[in-house]
């Protein structure tokens, strides 16, 4: 039930695109609430339960990123610990054999010119490509992005194309498609201690 596409341009601008499908068994509906959103310094796209996205959008206040801490270290420590706490307090965390995980879902987050993939076990992946996808339609979308990577078209059009291909191949992905852009900032939210 979803396809999220993230794309980072050479100048550090980050785009995120999403479909609007919500599925349960053979039922499919369109949702008005978007699976992508941005804050001052971050852009998010989630798949899985909308509850996870609601917690990220309305309850999560990203912790400060102190000067001297590189972006990846910040994301795998302070950022993800903040996410974990919100998932716990919002009742959307699962514990099994003393290991925490997000109950159902994963998400992409763009920050400071990079795209991060947060999996349900709170691991954070960074891939060498300028794009990444998540959701049940991700394999189709990522294949489309590889195929059109060097074509002369805008980033928005590449994302739309990938989402359309995903929707044509996966019955749980559907229009309308939404796209947001987070403009590049130098230094992100880094601050002094």
80 vs 3, 76, 114, 122, 176, CA distance in Å? 22, 6, 15, 7, 30
Encode the chain (193 residues) as per-residue pLDDT tens digits: 799 999 999 999 999 999 999 888 888 889 899 999 998 899 999 998 899 999 999 999 999 999 999 999 999 999 999 999 998 888 887 776 666 667 678 999 999 999 999 998 899 999 999 999 999 999 999 999 999 999 999 999 999 999 999 999 999 999 999 999 999 986 556 665 6
**Can you give the pTM of this predicted structure?**
0.92
Question: Domains in the chain, please, with CATH?
Answer: 4-191 (3.60.20.10)
Contacts of 97 (CB under 8 A, 6+ apart): none
Name the residue with tokens 């102190």: 66
How far is 36 from 45, CA to CA, in rounded Å? 4
């Amino acid at each position: 039930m979803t396809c999220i596409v993230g794309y980072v341009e050479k100048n550090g601008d980050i785009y995120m695109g999403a479909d609007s499908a919500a599925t349960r068994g053979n039922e499919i509906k369109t949702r008005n609430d978007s699976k992508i959103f941005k804050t001052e310094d971050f852009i998010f796209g989630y798949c899985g339960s909308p509850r996870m996205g609601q917690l990220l959008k309305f309850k999560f206040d990203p912790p400060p990123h102190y000067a001297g801490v590189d972006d990846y270290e910040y994301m795998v420590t302070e950022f993800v610990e903040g996410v974990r706490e919100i998932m716990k307090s919002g009742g959307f965390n699962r514990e099994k054999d003393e290991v925490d995980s997000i109950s159902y879902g994963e998400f992409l987050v763009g920050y400071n010119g990079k795209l991060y993939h947060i999996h349900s076990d709170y691991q954070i992946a960074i891939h060498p490509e300028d794009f990444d996808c998540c959701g049940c339609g991700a394999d189709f979308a990522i294949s489309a992005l590889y195929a059109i990577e060097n074509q002369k078209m805008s980033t928005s059009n590449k994302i739309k194309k990938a989402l359309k291909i995903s929707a044509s191949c996966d019955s749980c992905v559907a229009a309308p498609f939404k796209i947001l852009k987070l403009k590049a900032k130098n230094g992100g939210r880094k601050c002094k201690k």
